[in-house]
Structure 1
C-alpha cells in the first residue's frame, strides 16, 4: 500500500542511494508522501534544540532554533545550502528534497529552557532554513516551540517567507500582549512575479507575502521586512527598489533592512548554473563582480547604499535627516558613487574613489546592509 512507507520499521525508504544512515544521528525513519512529490523527510530525534551562535558572529542574537534542515522554498541563492554537505548530502537538489525534521525538538527545547543555567537570552527562529516552509504544515512544530519560549520568558524573533505564519499569529499576539518580547520579520526580495517563480520556486508569491505583512500588523505586531538578497542587475534598479518599498509601505511594514547578495561556497556555482539557464547575459558580469570572494566589492555596496537611502526615506522607513546626510556624503566627490552612476561604473571607478574617500566620514549605519 502507498502508506507502507509511513511505518517506523521502513526506516530506509526514500533514502538516497549510497547514503549512510549513520550520517543522520538519531534517524527514526525516512518518509515519502503523495502531498510532497519528490521529497523525502528524514525524521530524527535531536539531542539539543538550542544552537549557540559563535561569539565572532556580528548578528544581534546568540541563540537559534532550527526545527528542520533543508528547505522546500528552493531559493537559488540560499546561503544555507552548504549546510547540507555536513550530512553528506548535496547543496543543490538534495537541499530542496531531502528534508531533515527534528520531530522531538519541542520536548528537547522545553527541557533546555527549564535548566537553571538558562538566562533567557534572545532566541532567533528562521536564521538558517525557514521554520514556516511548507513542511511545517505537516509536522506542526512551531506552535510548541513558540509556546515553550513564551512560557520560559525567553525573547524571540521569527524571520520567514512562509505564509503559514498566519496560523500562529494569534499565539504570537497573545505572547506580545502578555508582556513577552516578540519580533516578526518577513523576507521579500522582489515584487516581480516572473522572477520570483524561477528564482524562489517554492515560496509564496510576492502578493501573498505582502498580505502576510498586513496580517501581522492587523494582529497588533510590528513587522520588519528583510529586502534580501538584492541581486545585481536583476533587482537593484531604482525602479524595482522603489516599487518594492512602496508596496511594503502600503502593506504596513514597520521597518526595512536591505542586504546585497552574497555567494559562499557551493552557492556560487549553483547561482552560476541558475544564471546560465535563466539570465545567461549576466553570467560574465557576476563572475567579475564575485571574482574575489563571496561578497560584492565595497564599491558596489556603497553604490547600493546610496541608491537605497533616499528610497527608504521617501517611503517613511527611516529618519529623513539621516538620509539627507548620507545622500550628501554619497554625492560629494569623495563620498561614494555619483548621482546617476550605474553599478558597473561604480565598481570600475572604485579604486580611485576609495583612495579619495579616506578622509570622508563613514556613511550612517542606517543604509548599511543588516540582518534581522
Structure 2
C-alpha cells in the first residue's frame, strides 16, 4: 500500500491537507480500473457530517502535561483544517484518514449535553474544571448549525460548573449571553489561539479559521464582556512563525488578554508526512530549515512523545524560545497567576419529580 498522491488543488480548495493518506489502522484501499483510459472529472471534498452515539460525555485523562483531568469534545474532526493539528491521528481510530477526511468527514455528538447532565448529577461526581474543546475546536463552523457547544454550556451554567474553553473560532462571541454571567461568578475562562499575524500564511496553514485580526477582535469582545482570556501562541512553528512571538504577545495584550501560554509545533504519527507535504507545496524554500529545527528538538526524530517533552522540545533552540516567551510575557504582564475558577458554587439543580425540601 502506498500513500495517496498529492490531490489536485482544485479538488481541495480551502482545505489544509494536500492528500488523504490512509491512517495506521486502514487495511488498504482497492481501486479497480474500469478498462477505460478516459480521464473523468472528480468532485471536490465536501463536508459530510454524521451523528455519533455516545455512552459518556466526559473524557478523563491522567496526563502530567495537562492542567485538567476531564474534558468534553462536541465534535470529532475539524473543518478548520489546520495542517499542523495534533488531533489529526485520532481520525485513524475511526478508519478514516487524518488527511482530508479529518477536515471533511466530521462526527457530531448531539447526545453530549444530556449525557453531561446525567454525569454531573451522579452522587459520585466530584467537581473540577472541565476543559471544552481540547481535541477539536468546539466553535468550528459546524457549531453555527448544530449548536451542541452552546447546549453543553447551558448545562454547565445550570450546574454552576467551571469550564475552560479552547478555541480559534470567533463564534464563541455568540454565547456571551451565557459566558458573561458565568464569568461574573468566576466559572469560565477562554483560551484563544493565535498562531501568526500574517493573514496570508494563516489562510494557507489554517484555511477555515477566522483571520488573525478577527481573532484579536474576539479577544476584545470577550474581555469587554468580563470574560477572561488567555492568549495561546500555539503552535510556535520553527523558522516560519517563531519570529512573530513577541508581536503576537503584544497584540494579544493590547486586545485585552490577561495571560498567555505557548506550545511548540508537534508532529505525532500521521501529522508529520501531512505537514511535510504542506511545506513542500506552500513553503519549499523553508522546508529543510523547518524540519531541521524540529528534529533538533526531538533527538533527530520528527516527534518525541515523552511526558514533559512533547509540548516544548529540548535543546538550545527550544530553550531560546522559552526564554523569549518568558521575557516578553513578563514585560507585558502576561505571566502572572490567574485566579482559579470557582468550584464551590457547584450544585445539582432540582430535577423533575424530585421531592422539594421544606428548608
- Normalised by the length of structure 1, the TM-score is 0.72
Query: In 1, Cα distance between the equivalents of 2:63 and 2:234?
Result: 22
On the 8 A contact 1:51/1:63 being kept in 2, the answer is yes
Q: Cα offset for 1:293? A: 4.2
Deviations 1:293-338 (A, max 9, x none): 415443221011122222223333236xxxxxxxxxxxxxxxxxxx
Give SS of 1:227's match: strand
Q: Any gaps of 5 or more consecutive residues in structure 1? A: 1-15, 17-35, 320-364, 366-372
| Equivalent position of 1:50 in the other structure | 58
Of the three residues 132, 136, 154, the one matched with 1:129 is 136
For 1:284 and 1:170, locate their aligned partners in 2 and report how far apart those are by CA, in whole Å.
47
Which residue does 1:267 correspond to in 2? Answer: 271
* Gaps in structure 2 of 5+ consecutive residues: 1-19, 21-43, 304-309, 338-359
1:101 corresponds in structure 2 to 108
- State the 1:273 CA deviation: 0.6
Runs of 4+ in 1 over 4 A off after TM superposition: none
Q: Check whether the contact 1:74–1:202 (CA below 8 A) recurs between aligned residues.
A: yes
- 1:19-41 per-residue CA deviation (whole Å, 9 max, x = no partner) reads xxxxxxxxxxxxxxxxx970100
1:183 corresponding residue in structure 2: 189
- Distance in 2 (CA, whole Å) between partners of 1:227 and 1:316 is 15
Q: Could you say which residue in structure 1 is the equivalent of 2:47?
A: 39
Report Cα offsets for 1:56-115 as digits up to 9, x if no partner: 432111110011100011001000000000000000000000000012111111111111
> Which has the larger displacement, 279-288 or 99-108?
279-288
Give the alignment partner of residue 254 of structure 1, picking from 247, 252, 258: 258
- Contact kept, 8 Å, 1:153 with 1:180, in 2: the verdict is no
Residue 170 of structure 1 is matched in structure 2 by 177
Inter-partner Cα distance in structure 1 for 2:333 and 2:122 = 43
Aligned partner (choices 301, 305, 329) of residue 312 of structure 1: 329
Shift of 1:230: 0.5
Aligned CA-pair RMSD = 2.0
1:190–1:244 CA contact under 8 A, matched in 2 = yes
- Bigger CA drift: 286-295 or 272-281? 286-295
1:245/1:312 contact within 8 Å kept = yes
Q: 8 Å contact 2:138–2:167 — kept in the other structure?
A: yes
Using structure 2 for the length normalisation, give the TM-score: 0.75
Q: Give the alignment partner of residue 301 of structure 2, picking from 289, 292, 304.
A: 292
Deviation per CA, 1:36-55, whole angstroms, max 9, x where unpaired?
Answer: 970100112211101111x2
Structure with higher RCO (Cα < 8 A, 6+ apart): 2
Give the match for residue 322 of structure 1. Answer: none
Give the secondary-structure state (helix, strand or coil) at the position aligned to 1:280.
coil
Q: Which secondary structure does the structure 1 equivalent of 2:210 belong to?
A: coil
C-alpha contact 2:72 2:132 (8 A) present in aligned 1: yes
Deviation at 1:150, TM superposition (A): 2.3
Aligned length: 283
